[in-house]
Structure 1
Amino acid sequence: MRLGRSSIPVYDVSVVRDLWEVRVKKHKQRQRNEKERQQRSALAKINMQWQYRIQCRNLKISEVECLHHYLERCALQHLQRPQEDAGAAGAAGAAGAAVADSETDSRLVYRLDGEQWRELPSELQWMSYLREWHISSTRIHSLPDYLHLFSQLTVLRLPRNSITELPPEIGQLVRLKELNVNYNCLPRVPPELGDCENLERLELTGNYLSKLPFEMSALKALLHLDVSQNTFASIPICALRMYNLRLLDLSSNRLTDLPEDMDRLQQLHSLFLHKNSISYLPHCLTKISSLSIVVVNGDELTCVPTRLCDNADIKFIRLYDNAASKVRKKEEKEEEGKEGWRRRRELEEKRKDSKEKEFMEAYIDSLKDRDTTPYATTKVSISCLL
């Protein structure tokens, strides 16, 4: 019997591998499509709304009413969205949504204060309909991981807490217009904050910041930037690219000079530079036509552009320290080597400087209506007994 030659097909391994990779890629694409479909599905929204209704059992009557208004507004917007795409009918739907918003704005604010609070209440995570947070004078150290769920948030005020870090999720609050984290313990700011493209007011007073991330240059809508009472040795580069900036407060830092390209800020109205070690002001400040208020230290300032001083449209204010405060500062510098004492002094200075800042704001507001401004102002300590 003659044995026939058996033919065994032999495939290239690379062909099999390519086939397998194509199938894996298609499978992953299907998974992504399914995930996106579920996210767009109304079932997820319905599930969240039911979770809200379950939480209503533990809420006050006013909060329950506010919650129902929110759910009704969501349903209204969901029904009117096709009309918005249609044209004229969509304009009417947007007007109706605006009316609903105006009715509920006063009740979409969350307030919390008091040193007894060390963390945020767990019920807060179900209140993603909120528009504003006002949390102050607590011992809260960090913000929750569910912060990104508050997509409607426009105002986030967190002054005088113990917050040590802002989470990267804050960059997902694209509707945020105001952020206040004054007098906390922030050593840095996350780069993701630059994604809050609608931010108009940013206050970072009284922290431990020495620089800002360059990504914050994307905040083109920012009008008010306050980084006073920190440890900046120079003006952050990102601040010079915020072309719509109208107020820049750099007081109580470690500045020794100003950059020559500050005239980039052509919309700048108020510039606060007092309580620094600046000895001269650059001539480029005279090129900012919108500038109307400049506040500096008069003690160490030796060179000022004549055009800046003689301009009747600019209120140029020099602040002078009295002799007692100079002696105190000298003693403080000699004692800075003692770490524990320095920490206590910083906390005391924060409390004191916060009152001084309020006084300065009131003083500047009083000058806005005057035709002339005092040439020199002596800083005084004012105590009021009520």
Structure 2
Amino acid sequence: MVGVVACSSMSSIKALWETRIKRGREEEEQRRTTSRGGTTGRLSVRVWEDRAVLARLKEKLQMEDGRLVLRIEQEEWKILPGCLIQFIQAQEWQIHRTGLLKIPHFISSFQNLLVLDLSRNAVAEVPKQIGTLTRLRELLLSYNRIQFVPEELSGCESLERLELAMNRNLNELPDQLRNLTRLQHLDLSMNDFSLLPDCVVAMPGLQWLDMGGNRLQLLPDDIHRMEKLHTLWLQRNELEKLPVNISRMASLDTLVLSSNRLRDIPSLMEDMTNLRFVNFRDNPLTMDVTLPPRKKVAEDDEDDREMFGREFMQMYIQEARKRSYAVLNMHCVNQIDEDSADK
């Protein structure tokens, strides 16, 4: 009987063990099935989200003046999704006030881009890939947080307009940018430049330059190398004097120098016959010059004379010359009197 009981007990234990193993296998299989279902569910959700984003972006595409433009205004897009690459035929990006943090590296895929306007965002960096956009004509990055411009930007050989205003901490440009031979319009205002970058002076096609609101203390002596420049904004800087060679800028017709620390005006600027508008307002100039009253003008003739403009500049130079002559004559008279006294 003892042997029978022992045998019966062993059979029961074996059956119980096999049951537990089978149950364990079933539970493991169920977990795997659930896991696969969860992954599939997550993938399905992700695909659905990507399709929704793509649909939103597609609504932002529109034809304007024969160009396919991606326009996003005042919506939150801190990061541009990778699915945007499906619209590489876009020729213009107009993305403003979205909180955009960076320009995606896949920007290099948009070889049809003519205009990239990301003004008024929070972009902190210009990627090197930007240099592959050889057809790009306008790059507008004002009112962002850019501190550094890569030398690769010089690869944008078709660039005509570059705006980097109000990036605050931007204070230098790579010398390679002198190779932007087609650049005509450059806005570097409201940054932290203390010197006019050498590459800017060397840009052969530059016509319009805004360096207002920086910390410029002097201008380069070879500023006349900017032969095609017709408009130069230098307001709100720390300039104490102007280089004599500024008078050799033959194409210059607009020069704004208000709110600096200028004490004098170079006499040779009197010969700048092409200079139509100049502004010396709010400078501690050595002499006080008041323009004479104008003759009464016809009622339909507007008196648009700028108090500290071109007429003021010419009168200031003439007055300075008269005073110099007077001082020289006085010196000569005194010298004659001294010589006579010695005899």
Please give the range of the TM-score, normalised by the shorter of the 2 chains: 0.5 to 0.7
Q: Map Cα deviations across residues 328-377 of structure 1 (whole Å, 9 max, x no partner).
A: xxxxxxxxxxxxxxxxxxxxxxxxxxxxxxxxxxxxxxxxxx99640338
TM-score relative to the length of structure 1? 0.57
In structure 1, list runs of 5 or more residues that go unmatched: 1-54, 67-102, 322-369, 378-386
Q: How does 1:79-228 map to 2 (within 5 A)?
A: 106-207=66-167, 208-228=169-189
Counterpart residue number, 1:376: 308
Quick check: 2:115–2:136 contact (8 Å CA) kept in 1? yes
Counterpart residue number, 2:278: 316
Q: Give the root-mean-square deviation of aligned CA atoms.
A: 3.0
Give the residue type in structure 2 aligned to 1:249. D
SS in 1 for 2:224: helix
Counterpart residue number, 1:260: 221
Q: How does 1:253-292 map to 2 (within 5 A)?
A: 253-292=214-253
Percent identity reads: 36
1:237 and 1:104 map into 2 onto residues whose CA distance is: 38
Q: Map Cα deviations across residues 200-258 of structure 1 (whole Å, 9 max, x no partner).
A: 00000011211000111100100011101010010001101101100111111111000
1:183 and 1:212 map into 2 onto residues whose CA distance is: 17
Quick check: 2:239–2:260 contact (8 Å CA) kept in 1? no
TM-score relative to the length of structure 2? 0.64
Q: Greater share of helix residues, 1 or 2?
A: 1
Alpha carbons of structure 1 residues 187 and 58: separation in structure 2 relative to 1, 3 Å: closer
Counterpart residue number, 1:305: 266
Counterpart residue number, 1:83: none
In structure 2, list runs of 5 or more residues that go unmatched: 1-50, 284-301, 310-343
Residue correspondences, number? 241
Alpha carbons of structure 1 residues 64 and 188: separation in structure 2 relative to 1, 3 Å: closer
Alpha carbons of structure 1 residues 116 and 293: separation in structure 2 relative to 1, 3 Å: same
Alpha carbons of structure 1 residues 56 and 173: separation in structure 2 relative to 1, 3 Å: farther
1:275 and 1:258 map into 2 onto residues whose CA distance is: 14
SS in 2 for 1:108: strand
1:65 and 1:157 map into 2 onto residues whose CA distance is: 15
Give the residue type in structure 2 aligned to 1:303. D
Quick check: 2:247–2:271 contact (8 Å CA) kept in 1? no
Quick check: 1:204–1:227 contact (8 Å CA) kept in 2? yes
Alpha carbons of structure 1 residues 139 and 59: separation in structure 2 relative to 1, 3 Å: closer
Q: Deviation of residue 113 (structure 1)?
A: 2.0
Flag the structure with larger Rg: 2
Quick check: 1:279–1:301 contact (8 Å CA) kept in 2? yes
